[in-house]
Amino acid sequence: MGGLGYFPGDSFLHRANPILKLFLAIILVTAIFAIPSLIAPAAVLAVTFLLAVSCNSGKWMLKIIRSMLKFSLVIFIIQTLFIQTGDTLIPLFWGLRITYQGVMFSLGFVLKLIASALPLALVLRVTKGIDLADALNETFKIPYKYAYAVASAMRFVPDFADEMKDIIEAQTARGVEHDTKGFVKKARLLAPICLPLLLSGVRKAEVAAISAEMRGVSNR
Amino acid sequence: MIKIEKFSFKYKGTDKFALHDVNLDVPAGAFLGLSGVSGSGKTSLLYSCCGVIPHFYKGDFYGSVKLNGLDTVETPIAELSKIATIVFEDMDSAFSTDYPEDEIVFGLRNFGHTKSEAEEIAAGNMKEFGIEDLRGKQIRSLSGGQKRKTALAAAIAIKPKVLLLDEPTGELDPEAKVQVFEILRKLNAEGLTIIISERNENLLRKYCTSEYTVQNA
């Protein structure tokens, strides 16, 4: 089913004009922040999910939501603890408390965060990067080079994931225990991978840019 | 087609010359093989022939490199790309799109073809390279040989006068290596100037019309 990025298909969303899809996604995201109610993000979430189902990507969207829930939970807890105004729901230690306002605000914040990410993720799911770059260039006169750079950024996500997997497997083969549930331990094991991964990413981006230049991307 | 005179190059931040006092004249229609041990400067020489050095890799540049009469230092890369193109060793990073047909269309669109024109040319090109069955398949899922053919088809579609290839058969099995060289021989016979860096000297001797051994510094 893939992660972020294009997934082939022949649904009406796949065939729709890339600019129209982008425009609709922007309208949905704007609505989330413009309407001061929890109904807006909930409605956008529902509409986006139905659209995803219509192009055979319902399971993919649930997977994205599930992975977002993990860090949303951390944000929810921190946010709730920071808001100390309003009616107390649960008194905590050191004078801290969980308040009704804190819970409602944090819930809204997390819901908006998740709902606002999904429409754009769905656009990338049903639109080829090359088509999006063409459309941005032709409709908004964005220089093709930049439109292409923006549209093709997602292509590297699976490469990064593969490379990270390779490094983890290589380290596991040499006795490093990556199969741990401890968050701190996992973070400590992953930290040394970040630099080589970043350097490799820069090198890949450099080759991609030169390759595109040598096939005339500056001529457009 | 390519004239290199008293050319030396040192990458920025290094003390050692990557290439030193190179003199090379590549006539139009040549099929030149570059040989040399690892680190001898084959890739640097290929990069210099098409302007990747010094436009993308900076450093101390001495002498002159002319591509079809154009000085590679003074001529913008957009102009140089109309004459020469390069197929990189690191193919996976060099692809600009996710699908073989899009990869071919990408270059054609950059050179002024409309989308429908580009798609039509790409279809013919894929047939010519025997990769029409790869349509709709993600490039990342293809085998090494299929990726090579896709990269070659995409490079050839834009009709360069010079094609540069950096170790194009590195990870391929012997049969696929021969297939790639057969395609190159056919393209060369049609008038394309080819410069290829390759470790397998037997292949160079069999297919190339001339050979140059690179020895840096």
User: Is any Cβ of chain B less than 8 angstroms from the Cβ of A166?
Assistant: no
CA A100 – CA A107 distance, rounded (Å): 11
Nearest to B136 among A8, A129, A214 (CB): A8
Q: Which residues of B touch A (CB under 8 A)?
A: 50, 52, 55-56, 76-78, 81-82, 84-86, 88, 90, 92-99, 102, 105-107, 109-112, 115, 136, 140, 154-155, 158
Residues of A within 8 A of B96 (CB-CB) are 130, 148, 152, 208, 211-212, 215, 217
pLDDT in tens, B153-174: 999 999 999 999 999 887 778 8
Contact yes or no for B154 and A204 at CB 8 A: no
Sequence ranges of the domains in chain B: 1-83+160-217, 93-154
User: Is any Cβ of chain B less than 8 angstroms from the Cβ of A215?
Assistant: yes
The reported pLDDT for the residue numbered B216 is: 67
Q: Which H, E and C letters describe A162-216, residue by residue?
A: HHHHHHHHHHHHCCCCCCCCCHHHHHHHHHHHHHHHHHHHHHHHHHHHHHHHHCC
Decide if domain B1-83+160-217 falls under CATH 3.40.50.300: yes
Contact yes or no for A215 and B155 at CB 8 A: yes
Query: Between A129-140 and A100-126, two packed helices, what is the crossing angle to 10 degrees?
Result: 90
Output the pTM of the full model. 0.82
Find, among A179, A39, A9, A10, the residue nearest to A112 by Cα: A39
Contact yes or no for A130 and B97 at CB 8 A: yes
pLDDT in tens, A109-121: 999 999 999 999 9
Q: What is the residue-level pLDDT of chain B in tens, covering all 217 positions? A: 899 999 999 999 999 999 999 999 999 999 999 998 888 899 999 999 999 999 999 999 999 999 999 999 999 999 999 999 999 988 888 898 889 999 999 999 999 999 999 999 999 999 988 899 999 898 988 988 899 889 999 999 999 999 999 998 877 788 888 888 998 999 999 999 999 998 888 899 999 999 999 886 4
| ipTM given for this complex | 0.90
CA A30 – CA A32 distance, rounded (Å): 5
Nearest to B93 among A204, A215, A217 (CB): A204
Give Cβ neighbours of residue A139 (< 8 Å, ≥ 6 apart). Answer: A19
Among all residues of chain A, which has the CA nearest to that of B163?
A214
| DSSP-derived secondary structure letter, A47 | H
Do A136 and A147 touch, CB atoms closer than 8 A? yes
